[in-house]
Amino acid sequence: MIRIASLHLYPIKSCRGFAVEKAELDERGLVGDRRWMIVDEDGGFVTQREEPALNRVHVAPGADGWRITAGRELTIRPDDARTLAPVTVWGDPVTARVHDEGSALISEQLGRPVRLVCFGPEAERSAGSAAPSAKVAFADGYPLLVVSRGSLDALNAKLDAPVPMRRFRPNVVIEGVDPYAEDEWDRLRLGTIDARMVKRCDRCSVVTVDDEGRRHKEPLKTLATYRRSGSNVSFGVNVAHGHAGTLRVGDSVTLYS
């Protein structure tokens, strides 16, 4: 049986995420996923590509917001982010809301001034060119990232030290299919949610950052030996969904040609 093995949220782009048993979907992806982002003084987005220490910033559900742990704890709420500021993510301009206390906390962690911003109700952003009608918040390009458990098992069989799935920051992990079967998917149904595979997910140095915020050569070095196409190395797929709804761990997954 093909089914959803796990679901994952990353409230702050490029910070540590967590697994959930159930997740709601709105037009931009999993509700709460990558609705916050860190930007530099010029409004450009900051990720583990240049700041691997962000993987030491833990985010978890709090009583009435997201609880950040980065040396000290702070609960952030969208309503506490009010000042509007122009930011950019992969060249896309977005009007975001600045959270002052969160900005100070992340600045302390990184040792340089940055701002923590929220994707508010006035913000707009379309997905990448392969699915321009889809909506997205601060995710790199598309609403959902899907990886199969078999693909990770196949990769780990080639590594001296296996890596956990969280290195690849998926939203939905699928089990019950052959390694890299997701590469060839066209349309699929996740539980009751109709979706389509948009493109393979090109990987960068973020997958080489461990839980302590240290960068390594693996697993990107090994992936490049058999998952390269031109200058890109892929693992997992970007997916766009057709409507809102609910995903649950254990939901069946149906594939269509």
- DSSP structure string for 110-159: HTS--EEEE--TT---B--TTSTTSB-SSSSSSSEEEEEHHHHHHHHTT-
pTM reported for the whole predicted model: 0.97
CA dihedral defined by 9, 78, 97, 103, rounded to 10 degrees? -80
Residue written as token pair 């920051």:
169
Which residue segments constitute the domains of the chain, with CATH numbers given? 3-8+128-256 (2.40.33.20), 30-118 (no CATH)
pLDDT in tens, 21-36: 999 999 999 999 999 9
| Spatial separation of the C-alpha atoms in residues 15 and 59, rounded to whole Å | 7
Opening angle at CA 71, ends 138 and 9, nearest 5: 30
Per-residue confidence (pLDDT) for residue 63, from 0 to 100: 86
pLDDT in tens, 131-153: 999 999 999 999 999 999 999 99
Per-residue confidence (pLDDT) for residue 257, from 0 to 100: 64
